[in-house]
Amino acid sequence: MYTLPLARLIEQLQRLPGVGPKSAQRLALYILKRPESEIEALAQTLIDAKKQVGLCQACYHLTAEPVCEICRNPHRDSQTICVVADSRDVIALEKTREYRGKYHVLGGVISPMDGIGPEQLTLQALVRRVSQQKPQEVIMAISPSVEGETTTLYIAGLLKPFTRVTSIAFGLPMGGDLEYADEITLAKALEGRRVSQQKPQEVIMARLPIVTGK
């Protein structure tokens, strides 16, 4: 149906999240119509971003510097750390302009079905950070799902000896994604946070391995 280089381009584009076969074809045909210089600039931008953007040494948010802008900002409150699954969640929370503390990005949630245990996340770094810095509060802000709840409770258990652990009060349905919550919902959830409660799920969590990773 397509000449080989075009088929390859469509196939690559289709691997991107949210891009189906039709969108991939439309993007590919658009790319072919643009001047070569423009496409070279796009390709270079992709390579530069991939090479230059890494993870903050302190909070694991995406940054081109050793330490991210949020961590470096002296006006941010170091006494509050908000724990999120992904850098996308930092961006979503920053958009609310309600939160003035710092973050910790886990890099995912505990999901034994997908082979993701505590050691695949930045959990050991979080425990070290909290035990050393002793912030006044750690806010758990993980999208509500079975895995998200398990992760929240597991971490709350680990951090309780060092600080007050709260969870943001989602007005979101189970499976609702932090990233897609509108800014007002998210700001309200942050405002209505409460101390993490012990729940029966903690019995399951006790069977999870002790953190040994990063």
Query: In the complex, which residues of this chain contact Zn ion (CB under 5 A)?
Result: 56, 58-59, 61, 68, 71
* Closer of 59 and 93 to Zn ion (Cβ): 59
Cα–Cα distances in angstroms (integers) from residue 43 to residues 22, 38, 46, 66, in the given order: 22, 9, 5, 25
* Closer of 28 and 93 to Zn ion (Cβ): 93
Q: 158 is written with which tokens? A: 């680990």
Q: 191 is written with which tokens? A: 């405002």
* Closer of 87 and 150 to Zn ion (Cβ): 87
- The strand pairing partners of 127, in sequence order, are none
Kindly report the backbone phi and psi dihedral angles of residue 104, in degrees, each rounded to the nearest multiple of 5, phi listed first: -140, 120
CB of 105 vs Zn ion, minimal distance in Å = 8
* Closer of 68 and 153 to Zn ion (Cβ): 68
- The strand pairing partners of 140, in sequence order, are 83, 167
CB of 93 vs Zn ion, minimal distance in Å = 13
Cα torsion at 124, 125, 127, 131 (round to 10°)?
140
CB of 59 vs Zn ion, minimal distance in Å = 3
CB of 67 vs Zn ion, minimal distance in Å = 6
Contact by Cβ (8 Å): 168, 131: no
Q: Which amino acid is at 170?
A: F
CB of 170 vs Zn ion, minimal distance in Å = 24
* Closer of 104 and 193 to Zn ion (Cβ): 104
